[in-house]
Amino acid sequence: MTTMITSPHPSLPDPNDERAIEAHKNEVLTTYAALFELIDRALQDSIPKAKNVFDLLGGPVELTVHAGLTRYLTRLFLTSRNISTEEEEQIAFDLERVSNCGLCVNHGLCQIRILKAAPQGIPKATSDARSRFYCSNQYSLRFDRDESNSTNPTPVTLVLLWSMGAEHSYGGLLIACPRRERADGTVDCYWITPWQRGEETLSIRETRPTAPESDLNEIRRRDDSKASS
């Protein structure tokens, strides 16, 4: 069983520093490993049960209904595991149900949305609340690192994306740290990576987003040929 590791709250990286981004990803995966493992187990348990409902009714799997059942069963699993037992360490978190927004998990200074993966990776926002969530890490950046994050740390927001494999089995979990929405509604991330259970990487069809967009991309080279015409 993975135990919760107490370590300093991960500070958001400089979006133009690849090493800082990689370090932030590794720190998040280590700091919240126990919570990610619990959510992974909840989905492993819930997705087959959701399919069994359709088998019981004798009808084909309807993906929209399946996703709703999965959210419901995942919520039940996580709620039951929020009570300490002799065999399992208690992981303190708050679980909320957000209409049309999957599940929301608050663990200390980490805010998580558990969503079903879309073909492009993170599903586009369908509400102002989701849109604000996708952009909240952008507002948490601290330009003066000497103003200690330990005295006034800011939350980090993460998106956990689950997918389905063959025969509506559990396909795996992706963990993403969103940065902002693009003009077309897709989500730019600091990083996105599959969750690994032990030393075994989950079998998941990873949708690879583009690398985090550099702030320097806002500076575009002038087309002299057009300027002179």
The range of the structural domain enclosing residue 35 comes to: 18-142+150-207
pLDDT on residue 5: 38
Tokens of 83: 């009570």
Is residue 2 included in any domain, yes or no? no
Burial zone of 151 (CB within 10 Å; 0-12 exposed, 13-18 middle, 19+ buried): exposed
pLDDT, tens digit, 9 for 90 and up, residues 93-144: 555 544 444 788 888 888 899 999 988 889 998 888 888 889 988 765 544 4
Domain count, the chain: 1
Q: List the chain residues with pLDDT less than 50.
A: 1-7, 83-90, 97-101, 142-150, 199-212, 214-222, 224, 226-227, 229
Residue 30 in any domain: the answer is yes
Residues 50 and 76 sit within 8 Å (Cβ to Cβ) = no
In a domain, 8, yes or no: no
| Domain-located, residue 217 | no
131 within a domain of the structure (yes/no): yes
The number of beta carbons lying within 10 Å of the beta carbon of residue 160 is 22
